[in-house]
Every structure is written in structure tokens, then in C-alpha cells.
Amino acid sequence: MATGSIKKQSRNLGAHAILIVWSLIVLFPLWVMVINSFKDRLSIYQSPFGLPKKWNISNYGAVLGDGDFLIYFRNSFIAVILSLVILLVVGSLASYALANWRGKISRLLYFFCIAGMMLPIKIASIKLLELVRMFGLLNTIWSLIPIYTAMGIPIAIFILTEFIREIPYELTEAGIIDGAGRMLIFGRIIAPLLRPALATVAIYNLVPFWNDLWFPLIFITDDRAKTVLLGVTRLFGQYQTDWSKVLAVLTLSAIPVIALYLIMSKQFIKGLTAGAVKG
């Protein structure tokens, strides 16, 4: 008994040690980014890892005082939020259909959808550029929304379909007996149970959507339609770069991602662990 307890404690200590080391590895770049955003350009090169001798908030003042960067934040926010909303609605409806449609065709459609997880969408950049130009969406943030939605559909269907299949079918049968249609059953019974899985899908896709530079760089050249990361390229000069302002912008751009994760963290963890323990 005592030997088993000691072994369990040693495993827990090993797991905690690994998690602590991993946390330090993850937090170190954030630490460097934040503290250097409060330094002037010369201080960054003198002491890149230490605390600033004099906290300089003028970098944030310069960034926030520049109206263009506020526009960039707004553009990124609109493109990402609308993409996530459309992704969650389309992904949940498609997953609901695939989870309840039994047959060879449904399995083929399911595997066809999740095959997109293995094929990076960037390989179709030239064709996507032609489509964006054909629909008149070039140089607008609206060109990014269908692209981001398509990027997230495979993982959304993969997570949500498996989650819906774990929901007892007796709940659906009870709704059918009460005379409810498929959409009413989805809205009243299935959708509320999907919140952990939806939070998982949202957070999983939030980071690549927000940090995407590839498609804005291809589709957008108008300053009024640029996103945050595309706008940051303005601060990179041919001979010198104002790293203090660059890091200030990146610090500000990380706030929405961190805030959303903190808000949805409980649901996110439930979504990740759903189905891991069988009763």
C-alpha cells in the first residue's frame, strides 16, 4: 500500500516537473516580448532578457495614437470573429447531419471533410486569389472570411461529429416522440450540450486565424483593409527596425487571444476531456 502510494506520488512529481518546464519554455518568449515592449530601441540590444531600467510606455502611446493600427485591430477582430461564428454554425450543422446519417455515403463524406486536415490550404493560394478577384473581394477583409472558414471546417467536423455521437440517442428519440423536428431538436437539445466542443473548436482555430499573415499578404494591399500582423510589416525598414514598437503591437495583439482563452478555458478543458473517461 505504502509502496503504491510512493510510486503514485513520484509519477505525479514527474508529471508536474515536466509541466513546469514546458510552461517556462512557453512563457519565456512572452516574457521577452512584453518586457522589451517597455524599452527603447537601444535598451533592447543592451539587455534583451532583463527588466527595463526605465519603463517606457511611449511605445504603446505611439501605436495607439496611430489611427492605422486601430483600424488594423478592428479589421482583424471583424474577420476572425465572423469567421469563427460562421465556422461554428456550419460545422455544428454539418456534424449533426453526419452523426445522424448512417451509411456508406455519410462515411465517405466524413472522411472527405476531415481529409482537409492533411492538406494545407496554402497550396491552393493561386486559385484562391483568382476566386477572390472574380467575386470582387480583393483588398477587403471579406476575402479572408470564407478562407478562414474553409481552413477550420475539417477540424470542426472531426471534433463535433465525434462529440455528437457520444450524446445518448435517447435524447433525440424523446424529442421526436414529443413531435419536435430535426432543427428544433438540434437547437433545444444538441446545441446546449455542444458548448464544450464548440469552445474547443473556437480556441483551436482562433490562434491560426488571428496570427495569419499569408492570406492578408496575398489578398490585401489597401492600408485601410490590412490586418494587425500585415500592418506590423510597416515597422520593418530596409536598414533598421523599430523593435520596441513592433513588440508593443504584438503584445496588444496577443490580448484578445489570451482573453478569449481565459473566458472559455473551462469549456475548452471539458471539450478536450470529453469521452476520455467512460462510466
Task: Output the pLDDT for position 1.
Answer: 47
Task: Output the pLDDT for position 134.
Answer: 92
Compute CA distances 207 → 64, 199, 210, 242, whole Å. Answer: 22, 13, 5, 25
pLDDT tier at 278 (50, 70, 90 boundaries)?
A: very low
Looking at mean pLDDT, say which of 1-5, 114-118, 224-228 comes out highest.
224-228
Mean pLDDT of 32-53: 82
User: Does the pLDDT value for residue 248 go beyond 70?
Assistant: yes
Residue 26's DSSP bridge partners are none
Task: Output the pLDDT for position 275.
Answer: 45
Task: Output the pLDDT for position 99.
Answer: 85
Between 235 and 272, name the one with better pLDDT: 235
Task: Output the pLDDT for position 132.
Answer: 92
**Is there a contact between 231 and 72 (Cβ–Cβ < 8 Å)?**
yes
**Is there a contact between 271 and 199 (Cβ–Cβ < 8 Å)?**
yes
Between 241 and 163, name the one with better pLDDT: 163
SS3 at position 236: strand
pLDDT tier at 143 (50, 70, 90 boundaries)?
A: very high
* pTM value surpassing 0.85: no
Q: Which CATH class is domain 65-273?
A: mainly alpha
List pLDDT tens digits, range 82-139: 999 999 999 999 998 888 887 788 888 888 888 888 888 888 889 999 999 999 999 9
Mean pLDDT check: name the lowest of 85-89, 155-159, 185-189: 185-189
Percent of all residues in the chain with a pLDDT value above 90, rounded to a whole number:
22
Return the domain boundaries, the chain.
Answer: 65-273
Task: Output the pLDDT for position 238.
Answer: 52
SS3 at position 241: strand
Cell 461529429 identifies what position?
161
275: DSSP letter: T
Residue 241's DSSP bridge partners are 236
